[in-house]
Structure 1
Amino acid sequence: MNTAPPHDPLDHSLIDDVQGLALGIFMCGLGVHILTHVGLITGQTAGIAVILSYLTGWSFGSVFFVINLPFYLLAYRRLGLEFTVKSLISVTLLSLVTEYLPAGFEPGRITPALGAVTFGALVGLGLLAMFRHKGSLGGLGVVALMVQDTTGFRAGYVQLIADAVIFGVAFLLFDWQVVAWSLLGAVVLNLIIAINHRRDRYVAT
């Protein structure tokens, strides 16, 4: 008689995790590339990195990687080694993707409105893929997931609050139209996460 424990159909194999995280990273990288191509900004840690890259001339990938470093300790202490390692790998790979993607893909004319919506859709779906394989892009996303896991308050809404602060600062630094279109992209992104990232609908171990 077979006494092996039943297999959970939602368990993720190593191959599942690799393809899920890789897809998420690529979609996020593509979204950020379109965002910076149309000269917009975004929220969260990526938004801070975009703003700093515009102001300093440093590459987004380098700034994004450095900004995330302090959050890894927090992720390890509250969300575990697996989540932290996957996030570190994901942030590193996204930094590389955003560095080298322009060499192979240079978008043509994109209106700010379409660029904002495209960015929000791509990154929102990319982050969903990463969350479902216990990964993230670190930074404030780690804090958002921690709040959701401990209080039930949706991660997307936590990120919307953080975005409100970041965009408030951005209004002091950039043209209001740039910030307005950027805010549209952030709303699309966070609504995708808020509506679709629900632990009661999707649980994987």
Structure 2
Amino acid sequence: MAKKVLIIGVASILIGIGINVFIMPLHLLNGGVFGISLLLKYLLGFKLGLTIFCINFPIYLLAFKFDQTYFINGVIGLIISSVMIDLMFPLNGIIHLPIIISASIGGLLIGCGVGIMLRNHTSPGGVDLLSLLMAKWFSINPGVFILVIDALIIVCGLVILKDLHLMYSLLTVIIVGFVVSILTSFKSVDIYI
């Protein structure tokens, strides 16, 4: 269990840096529950980690009903990643890069964090947890499922916020989906920290 917590911690740090250093300062979105929570932060000023935790609650009830192992691992991933995202908020704005580079690096870090978690049968919650369940039930690559849902969330963000620079969020989502797909594709290679 200590090893799993360490892996989740490292993955959560990657996600926290990706969101706080590269995504949030430019008001970009990610997909999934992260994206919905970012949208609520931009619109209403909600605390990001707490919002992520609250939105995930019904998804975790579903996981509890169908697979208690994923539920337990997911709760650990959710708590650690939500806390880490809020703890890393002071990093917001410490680096200023062109938006395309920031969107790319943010996507790479978030994708690595999520991919490491999924490889180790846990997740930061939301769509990632649903993707684990879907992969188990239907043999769908979790990265592909995440990519489709995340793209829909970005389109919704574009419609609600009416800010065209959010188009760069699609780059973030594509990179996250690509990295997660790569990290979860090779069943014979385990990723350990």
Instruction: Give the TM-score of the pair, scaled to structure 1.
Output: 0.84
Whether contact under 8 Å (1:38, 1:111) holds in the other structure is no
Q: Which residue of 2 aligns with 1:184?
A: 171
Q: Which residue of 2 aligns with 1:17?
A: 4
1:139 to 126, 131, 137: 126
**CA radius of gyration, larger in:** 1
Matched, 1:30 2:17: yes
The 5 Å alignment of 1:112-191 reads 112-191=99-178
1:36 to partner: Cα distance:
0.3
Identity across matched positions, percent? 22
The 5 Å alignment of 1:4-83 reads 14-34=1-21, 35-80=23-68, 82-83=69-70
1:27 to partner: Cα distance:
0.6
Amino acid at match of 2:51: V
Whether contact under 8 Å (2:74, 2:123) holds in the other structure is yes
1:25 to partner: Cα distance:
0.9
1:104 to partner: Cα distance:
5.7
Whether contact under 8 Å (2:122, 2:129) holds in the other structure is no
Whether contact under 8 Å (2:17, 2:91) holds in the other structure is no
1:106 to partner: Cα distance:
4.5
Comparing 103-112 and 63-72, the one that deviates more: 103-112
Query: Which blocks of at least 5 consecutive residues in structure 2 are unaligned?
Result: none
1:136 to partner: Cα distance:
0.4
Query: Which blocks of at least 5 consecutive residues in structure 1 are unaligned?
Result: 1-13
Alpha-carbon RMSD = 2.0
CA distance in 2, matches of 1:157, 1:74: 21
Whether contact under 8 Å (1:27, 1:122) holds in the other structure is yes
- CA separation of 1:47 and 1:104: change in aligned 2, threshold 3 A: closer
- Report the 3-state secondary structure (helix = DSSP H, G, I; strand = E; otherwise coil) of the residue aligned with 2:161: coil
Tell me the alpha carbon deviations over residues 159-195 of structure 1, each in whole angstroms, 9 at most, x when there is no partner.
1211232122112123443221111011000011112
1:22 to partner: Cα distance:
0.9
Amino acid at match of 1:53: K
Tell me the alpha carbon deviations over residues 82-115 of structure 1, each in whole angstroms, 9 at most, x when there is no partner.
3222221222222222222133664231221111
- Report the 3-state secondary structure (helix = DSSP H, G, I; strand = E; otherwise coil) of the residue aligned with 1:55: helix
Matched, 1:111 2:98: yes
- Report the 3-state secondary structure (helix = DSSP H, G, I; strand = E; otherwise coil) of the residue aligned with 2:187: coil
Higher share of residues assigned helix: 2
- Report the 3-state secondary structure (helix = DSSP H, G, I; strand = E; otherwise coil) of the residue aligned with 2:160: coil
Instruction: Give the TM-score of the pair, scaled to structure 2.
Output: 0.89
Amino acid at match of 1:127: V
CA distance in 2, matches of 1:159, 1:185: 12
CA distance in 2, matches of 1:153, 1:86: 20
Tell me the alpha carbon deviations over residues 110-138 of structure 1, each in whole angstroms, 9 at most, x when there is no partner.
22111111111101111122122221011
